[in-house]
Amino acid sequence: MSSNIDEMSWSDARNLLRKWRDDNERKSEDVMQLWDAVLSSKQSKLGNERHLVLEQVIIAALDCNRIETAEHCVSILSAEFPGSLRIQKYRSMLLEALERYDDALDELEQIIRKDETNAAPRKRKVAILKTQGRTAEAIRELCDYMKIFMSDQEGWHELCNLYLGEGEYAKAAFCMEELLLHNPHSHLIHQRLADIRYTMGGMENIEMAKTHYCKAVKLNVHNLRALYGLFLCCGHISNSKAVVGKRKEAQKLAQWAMAQIQSRTQDTKAALEKGKSRTAENEDELQALEHAFGGLDVGKVSN
């Protein structure tokens, strides 16, 4: 990128920034190079895009720890739009970058009081609380947020992560169940819900975990984690005091799951031996799979 900057006109730089905005690409270091070399002295030529470019530079400057540049751009926008909640959000982000978290929270509180339907400052508030290690407060704020924005899938994911960090597995499972209502055909959501249920333990949760692992495998037959989880769940059930029919069914399902696992690991081995995939990443993956599955024996599942 740096080798082409000297040859760029201001219009080329403007068009490139516009393309990155349209494609939702940050490219913070490249944005700062274009700003320093071309656009900072050509602001008057940007026309209607000037404010959009300044916002783009603010985000890039914060990403690159260019605090002075971010402050300069925020001050320009603040002078032109003194009452803008959007500019106030950028001021709070600048304060956050300076680690003045209490001041940033005050700015966000002001935005929320003026516009209760604005989701962005509520999310920033949760992020700051999480950064400070105030997990309980972050959970409380995020719960209040989800009561208003119930269809925010990212919010449910984050709330699940916070609950898992606190060991609140039942509440984390509830969050994943909410996500299933929005996206019932995601094998990853089924798999994660199954992981949580398996971690909770108890025969009822193991049964539920088995159900979701089965669904995950049905949606994506290449999901090795779900296959391994299914094998473990069936091992628990076949060794439990469940009725004979259920134990036999679990044993057959465990044998099928292990056969699928072994088939996929053997296919990976064959591909490596034939030279189809020689990357270090694939070799590390194969070693990890062998370590995870090599000591397992379906015959250990009792009748």
Q: What span, in angstroms and rounded, lies between the C-alpha atoms of 251 and 142?
A: 42
104 located within any domain: yes
Give domain status of residue 122, yes or no.
Answer: yes
Boundary residue ending a domain (82, 104, 122): 82
CATH number, domain of 262, equals 1.25.40
CA distances from 156 to 39, 121, 146, 176, 185 (A): 40, 17, 8, 7, 17
Name the domain boundary from 67, 82, 97. Answer: 82
The whole-number pLDDT of residue 55 equals 92
- Residues 51/57, Cβ–Cβ less than 8 Å: no
pLDDT computed for residue 300 by the predictor: 41
Q: Which of 145, 118, 115 is nearest to 130 (CA)?
A: 145
Sign of the CA dihedral with 70 first, then 72, 75, and 80 last: negative
- Which residue bears the tokens 């292990």? 258
Three-state DSSP class for 228? helix
Q: What is the pLDDT of residue 276?
A: 54
Assess contact for 148 and 118: CB atoms under 8 A.
no
Nearest Cα to Cα of residue 179 among 214, 151, 208, 198: 151
Assess if residue 290 is contained within a domain: no
DSSP line for 233-301: HHHHHHTSS--HHHHHHHHHHHHHHHHHHHHHHHHHHHHHHTTS---HHHHHHHHHHHHHHTT--GGGS
Name the one residue in this structure whose structure tokens are 């995950």.
Answer: 216
27 and 109 assigned to the same domain: no
Tokens representing residue 194 in the block:
């199954």
**Structure tokens of 240?**
């439990």
- Give the chain's largest Cα–Cα span: 80
Please state, in angstroms and rounded to a whole number, the distance separating the CA atoms of residues 301 and 231: 10
State both tokens at 168: 């609140």
Predicted confidence at residue 274, as pLDDT, reads 65
Q: How would you write the pLDDT of the chain (303 residues) with one tens digit per residue? A: 555 776 778 888 888 889 999 998 888 998 898 888 888 888 888 888 889 999 999 999 999 999 999 999 999 999 988 888 899 999 999 999 988 999 999 999 999 898 888 888 999 999 999 988 899 999 999 999 999 998 899 999 999 999 999 999 999 999 999 999 999 999 999 999 999 999 998 899 999 999 999 999 999 988 889 999 999 999 888 888 877 888 888 888 888 888 888 887 776 666 666 665 555 555 665 565 555 544 444 334 343
CA-closest candidate to residue 10, choices 55, 41, 33, 32? 41
The reported pTM is: 0.77
Q: Does 244 lie in the same domain as 186?
A: yes
The answer as to whether 165 is a domain residue is no
Q: Find the domain containing 102 and state its range.
A: 84-149
Q: Which of 145, 111, 114 is nearest to 127 (CA)?
A: 145
Inside any domain, residue 142: yes
Q: Are residues 32 and 76 in the same domain?
A: yes
Cite the beta strand spans of 15-88 per DSSP E.
Answer: none
Among 189, 164, 163, which Cα is nearest to 178's?
Answer: 189
